[in-house]
Every structure is written in C-alpha cells, then in structure tokens.
A and B are shown apart, each in its own frame.
Chain A
Amino acid sequence: QQQVKQSPQSLIVQKGGISIINCAYENTAFDYFPWYQQFPGKGPALLIAIRPDVSEKKEGRFTISFNKSAKQFSLHIMDSQPGDSATYFCAARGGNFNKFYFGSGTKLNVKP
C-alpha cells in the first residue's frame, strides 16, 4: 500500500508558467513533508519542506501549500524555467527513526 500518492505522473509547462504537483497521504502520524528534486543520474536533493502546523511555506519561486484536514500538500513552482526540468518527489516522515515514504514522482518538462 502506497503511503503517499503523487500526481500528475508527468507535467509540461511553458517557461514562465506555474507548475503544480500534488500529493496526498493517509497516515495522520506523518509530521514532516519534504519535496525533493532529482536530475537524471543524480540523487534526490532537498528542495523545500513543511511541518503540518503550517499551511504554507515559500522559498524563492517554490511554495508548499499544506491542507492538514484534507491530508494533501502541493508544490508550486512560480515562473518555471527550463532548468527546473527534473523529477520531483514528495515525501512524508513517519514512524520510528525518521523514515521517509516517497511518492512515485512527477517528471516536469519546462518548454522554452
């Protein structure tokens, strides 16, 4: 059973547009929600993260919106650039030992 569900699987956005990726979870014990960016052949790199006591967090062009009652969170990339083209993973921390559960990923392609 997948603990974190992510959509869409792929996304094409024009340069300057807004990219939106959504995730949903079931386990209310999850207490930390990071987003990772991964380029081909590289490991995931932490992009931005949020805790459930906050509804929104913004860092530069990247914003996480968090809806605790709906158990959903999303990543918004403003003014999307071709350099943002990568695969994005949401994750949630839960259980013992700081274990992360990852979504299945969204491949973003930003067209010039």
Chain B
Amino acid sequence: DTGVSQNPRHKITKRGQNVTFRCDPISEHNRLYWYRQTLGQGPEFLTYFQNEAQLEKSRLLSDRFSAERPKGSFSTLEIQRTEQGDSAMYLCASSNSGGPTYEQYFGPGTRLTVT
C-alpha cells in the first residue's frame, strides 16, 4: 500500500505528558499537511510543509505543538504538556505540487485521548 501512513493509530496519555505522532506521506508528494478533527466536526488545518520547510501554521497550533519534516520525507507532530482539550484525531495529508489537481490524500489518523 503506497498511501499515507500514520503511527501510532491510537494514543492514550495522561495530562501533562508529551506525545509524538509520525506521518509518512506518499513518496513522491512534496506537500504535507497536518489537520485536527474533533468529534462531529470537519478537519481543521494545523500546519503545512513544502519539502522540509514549514510554510504556514494555524493559530490553533499553540506553542505546545511543534511539527518537523526533516529531509522533506516523513513528518512528526509533537504535543508537549498535553491537555484534555488536545483529545482529537490528528490527520496527515499529502499532495504533489507538480500534479494537475489540488488533491490531498489523507492518512488514517492518530486518535489521541488525554486522560
């Protein structure tokens, strides 16, 4: 399967702990996005990478959140000092700026539960 993969699929953590999620985009895709989806809502944009450069961050991304994409391949999203309000599905998507359309392909997500 050459789709977007995310790990772990589920993460349960206690409030105050740090967590890190990983996203592996489709191999030829140079654009990578992180979204957050809470129950009953659509995905909300968090941040965007083109290759290794983080070009945009949402106001939703507080200073407890940090994302990286070293070497323009996989990406990690870290949440420090987790809060119960961080409980959500974290989705990664990728796309190819060289393609004819603007399609974004989503991974299965990482569901975070903060207790």
Contact = CB atoms under 8 A, between A and B. Distances in A.
Q: How large is the interface on A (under 10, 10 to 19, 20 to 34, 35 or more residues)?
A: 20 to 34
Contacts of A102: 42-44
Interface residues of B, number: 28
Contacts of A44: 43, 91, 106
Given A32-B102, A97-B48, A43 B108 contact: yes
Interface in A43-92: 43-46, 49, 89, 91
A97 B103 contact: no
Nearest to B111: A41
A98 B102 contact: yes
Nearest to B43: A102
Chain A contact residues: over half helix, strand or loop, or mixed?
strand
28 contacts: A34-B102, A34-B104, A42-B109, A43-B4, A43-B6, A43-B91, A43-B93, A43-B109, A44-B43, A46-B105, A49-B101, A89-B42, A91-B42, A96-B56, A97-B48, A97-B50, A97-B55, A98-B31, A98-B97, A98-B104, A99-B33, A99-B45, A100-B43, A100-B104, A102-B42, A104-B40, A104-B41, A104-B42
Given A34-B104, A97-B55, A104-B42, 9 more contacts: A32-B102, A36-B106, A42-B109, A43-B93, A43-B106, A43-B107, A43-B109, A89-B42, A100-B33
